[in-house]
Amino acid sequence: MSSRNHMAPFAVNIDLNTGHIGPPARALTRRLSDLRGLFCDEAAYSALTAAGDPVVYEVYEVRVPEEDGHLLSCTTIIHPGQVGREYFFTKGHYHLSEPRAEIYTCLRGEGYLLLGNREGESRSIVMIPGVSAYIPPYWAHRTLNTGSHPFIFHGVWPGDSGHDYGSIEQAGFPLRVFEERGRPAVKASAGPC
């Protein structure tokens, strides 16, 4: 019998201040050096990476089987910061199984959810606490922090989704967000940068 028939119900605790999830969570840290080639300003990227390689974001994922029928969930904490004028962001991905949707709910801080699809459409959604965004099947997604505090959101997605990072690494994300006159400005972007 598969493991899903034998799992007992459980709960985790999400610290709404830090975004950390109490046991049993799996933690992942992405430093700037893990995001090579993704930001536009290569000089600023090299300088920042050499001067301490800051943590850009952390992910705390609830441990459940990555299979059909289960729901995966995590918190993501994007730290405040910029590479040049571009705000710190997540790598961004399509789901490997593209007909898999996802929900992101902002818990703290402020940022954007960027979305793009293979038909060339793109969207941006402002994320502030209480905003719960629906990422439909077939849409790539990336988040970024436009504030001066950590931006924290909770995500839920099907267990058999998988992640395709290569498409975004190769083609870039169709939208980028830069600081302009002290405010975020969303720009269409063609190619890696």
Give me 12's structure tokens: 């985790």
Report d(CA 83, CA 130) in Å as an integer: 28
Cβ-contact 19, 152 below 8 angstroms: yes
- With CB under 5 to 8 Å by kind, the binding choice for 94 among ligand PAN, Zn ion, none is none
Which amino acid appears at position 55 of this protein? Answer: V
Burial label, 40 (beta-carbon count in 10 A; 0-12, 13-18, 19+): middle
| Closer to ligand PAN by Cβ: residue 90 or 145 | 90
Which amino acid appears at position 12 of this protein? Answer: V
- Measured over the CA atoms of residue 183, residue 185, residue 39 and residue 133, the dihedral's sign is positive
Locus of tokens 């169709």: 174
Distance of closest approach, residue 95 Cβ to ligand PAN, in angstroms: 6
| Closer to ligand PAN by Cβ: residue 136 or 180 | 136
- With CB under 5 to 8 Å by kind, the binding choice for 83 among ligand PAN, Zn ion, none is none
Binding site for ligand PAN (CB under 6 A): 59, 74, 76, 90-93, 102, 141, 155, 157, 161, 163
| Closer to ligand PAN by Cβ: residue 58 or 184 | 58
Distance of closest approach, residue 141 Cβ to ligand PAN, in angstroms: 6
Distance of closest approach, residue 88 Cβ to Zn ion, in angstroms: 18
